[in-house]
A = this chain, B = another copy of it.
């Protein structure tokens, strides 16, 4: 399951990607359009900014816009930003690897082996879905 944060982030990015580029959107307008609590969305947009997916203009008449080609923003990136590891256990993770305390020998752990296979397939599936695809679907 993805968190609300991730879900809202994706919806906000789709919203931005549907517009001509260069156009600014305020938190309020995205909030209203995508049905996301405004103050919560503020935090999410800031995180997306820190991750260089969006940029902002401060002050009156300011707002947010996509700062990256929507073909190059995909669900794997967004998922990792808010929810962390794609893998089902830290020991099977690429970006969030952690050693399993209770594992005597990770090399020979068949569970780790299995979960790494799952991770690869899930990662490919997530990576294949870009914001561009979502914004232009149908």
Interface residues of A (CB under 8 A from B): 1-2, 7, 10-11, 14, 35, 75, 84-85, 87-90, 102, 108, 110-111, 113-114, 117-118, 120-122, 124-126, 128-129, 133-135, 137-138
Using A110-B134, A117-B125, A118-B125 as known contacts, list a sample of 12 further A-B pairs with CB atoms less than 8 Å apart, ordered by residue number in A: A1-B88, A1-B89, A7-B111, A11-B111, A14-B110, A14-B111, A35-B102, A75-B114, A110-B137, A114-B129, A121-B121, A122-B122
Task: Identify the closest chain B residue to A114 (Cβ).
Answer: B129
Main secondary structure of the interface of A (DSSP, over half): helix
Q: Is the CB of A118 within 8 A of B75?
A: yes
Once bound together, how far apart are the Cα atoms of A108 and B137, in whole Å?
A: 9
Once bound together, how far apart are the Cα atoms of A47 and B122, in whole Å?
A: 27
Neighbour of A121 across the interface among B2, B108, B110, B125, CB < 8 A: B125
Q: Is the CB of B110 within 8 A of A135?
A: yes
Q: Is the CB of A126 within 8 A of B137?
A: no
Once bound together, how far apart are the Cα atoms of A85 and B99, in whole Å?
A: 26
Residues of B within 8 A of A85 (CB): 1
Q: Is the CB of B1 within 8 A of A138?
A: no
Task: Identify the closest chain B residue to A110 (Cβ).
Answer: B137
CB distance from A48 to the nearest CB of B (A): 16
